[in-house]
Structure 1
Amino acid sequence: MSIVTTQFVIQSGWSPIDLNSALRIVLCCEASTIDGRRKGACLFCQEYFMDLYLLAELKTISLKVTTVDMLKPPPDFRSNFDATSPPILVDNGLAVLENEKIERHIMKNVPGGHNLFVQDKEVATKIENVYSKFKLMLMKGDDHSKQVLLSVLRKIDEHLGQKKTRFLTGDTLCCFDCELMPKLQHIRVAGKFFQEFEIPAEYENLWRYMHHMYLLDAFTQSCPADQDIINHYKLQQGTKMKKREELETPSFTTSIPASVQVE
């Protein structure tokens, strides 16, 4: 099902891209590995989806997001992009294919993009190891790896407590939020499923942060279903999905602990 507004076209499933069209920015994202149509669990795809969605909300760009089933890529996708995997950004006919180049292009060439990419070394340092520590915890699952991940999350919680702002650098979203929040969602969903790992309720600043993110269309429109996040890591582990999982109605975890007070 497509969501269509004056500034967005968010489409489930691939449709051909006119590389000569200058009507909109197109972001190609990986499709679900379960149904091949809805949003997949690629972290970079969601990060750039959020960046561009925020700019489209500000009406600096017109945006189309489309999903691509990389298990069965359409012939015209291969003819345009060879074996390149999403995310792929197409801007005024120019295809940008590498993650670092996509980020740089949004920052320097997309109208309003430079406002998202703030400079904050403290925040950059605090969030840089979140995902690597999460992956280590998924692999090992021992108390030490869990404590290491908790330590990283606690530092982010303390930072938010000191800042007393809704987001990492202030009360408006920036690139760091678009990078961190998809990873936190993977930690919530996959950490719980594979290792019974949960973010402690006492990390109240972090939970309030996640609550504010859950209220934003930029996050909810770009967020993959819980089942797709779980299957993303099952595939990495070489585990096959069960038939009943293919038939499940997609669910999205967006609750926070009842003990956490929010404004």
Structure 2
Amino acid sequence: MSDDNPTNDSVSDNKPHFELYIKASVRDGESKGSCPICQQWFMVAHLLAEKSDVHFQVYTVPANNLPESFKAKTMSKTFPIVIGVQGRDTKGQDISNCVFDDADEVEKFFESVNVSRPLLKRTEAKNQLALRHVEDLYKKFNLFLQNPNDNGTKLTQQLKNVDGFLGEMETTFLCGSTISYSDTVLLSRLQHIRVAGKAYKSYEIPKELKNLWRYLSTAYQTKAFIQTLPSDQDIKLHYETKATTKLEKTIKLEGTSYSTDVDPECLNGEVEQQNGDE
């Protein structure tokens, strides 16, 4: 079980300080794993820490071989898991030693420590609107990988819908100039579509989806996304049991890489560095 401190902040104040446990890589058991939900909440934690709302350490845990030190804290195998260290939430409740180990509890925890980033809450109206445009995308992708006769038409149409929504919004991200809750959902899964789609079925996000590629290009310049990103190899292995093609032997021979490049042909004008606030 390995740990990392993305913030390096002092924890002497009374702000919430917690530990975030995410799945470890299946390749080495230590680096970041490929679970989209884990990356989603890792991004939320990172963004809250950037605003100094919280302090946290992230730990990677091999899900199939839980360390004894982890079992002493919780026996849950549902990741991510949050364990409070010290401090109080926005209602003044002490979070010390509190364990949040299912999806609803984790969401409620992050809402309870969110002081300055309302768009990181799923319940915000802007997120509700954006989620309606992106929520079917990952389902379509999984069906695409599992069906050898699926040529990707439905997946492409869903990506076009997302591209169109980004064009209508005319914002850097789904809800504004900074990453919102709906972005953490979309980005973590969009990277899987890019990497695993190409690896297993030679599928590539169409170059003509300019809004979508600008969106990805800007995300690749954003610390909260790039520093929580799993490797291409872990993403590919995530689908080894789901896809009809088997690549495990080939993947294990690969070095570690991250697909963060964007072909200039995919862009229409320069992508400006994200620097806005909510």
Q: Which TM-score band applies after superposition, normalised by the shorter structure? A: 0.7 to 0.9
Report percent identity of matched pairs: 32
Query: Tell me, what secondary structure is at the counterpart of 1:25?
Result: strand
Q: Which amino acid aligns with 2:99?
A: A
In the superposition, relative to structure 1, how do residues 93 and 115 fare at CA in structure 2: closer, same or farther (>3 Å)?
farther
Counterpart-to-counterpart distance in 2, 1:7 and 1:59: 8
- 2:120: which partner in 1? 116
In the superposition, relative to structure 1, how do residues 132 and 4 fare at CA in structure 2: closer, same or farther (>3 Å)?
closer
Higher helix content, 1 or 2? 1
In the superposition, relative to structure 1, how do residues 199 and 141 fare at CA in structure 2: closer, same or farther (>3 Å)?
farther
Contact residue 5 and residue 58 of structure 2 kept, 8 A: no
Counterpart-to-counterpart distance in 2, 1:198 and 1:241: 20
- 2:166: which partner in 1? 160
1:201 to 198, 204, 207: 207
- What runs of 5+ residues in structure 1 fail to find an aligned partner? 10-21
In the superposition, relative to structure 1, how do residues 93 and 254 fare at CA in structure 2: closer, same or farther (>3 Å)?
same
- 1:104: which partner in 2? 108
- 2:138: which partner in 1? 131
- Provide runs of 4+ in structure 1 moved above 6 Å: none
Contact residue 34 and residue 228 of structure 1 kept, 8 A: yes
Counterpart-to-counterpart distance in 1, 2:252 and 2:226: 22
Cα deviation for residue 4 of structure 1 reads 5.4
Q: Which amino acid aligns with 1:147?
A: T
- 1:67: which partner in 2? 60
Counterpart-to-counterpart distance in 1, 2:6 and 2:191: 25
- 1:76: which partner in 2? 69
- What runs of 5+ residues in structure 2 fail to find an aligned partner? 85-95, 272-278
Counterpart-to-counterpart distance in 2, 1:179 and 1:236: 21
In the superposition, relative to structure 1, how do residues 187 and 8 fare at CA in structure 2: closer, same or farther (>3 Å)?
farther
1:12-31 to 2 correspondence within 5 Å? 24-31=17-24
Cα deviation for residue 173 of structure 1 reads 1.3
Q: TM-score, normalised by structure 2?
A: 0.82
Contact residue 8 and residue 56 of structure 1 kept, 8 A: no
Cα deviation for residue 262 of structure 1 reads 2.4
In the superposition, relative to structure 1, how do residues 4 and 163 fare at CA in structure 2: closer, same or farther (>3 Å)?
closer
- 2:88: which partner in 1? none
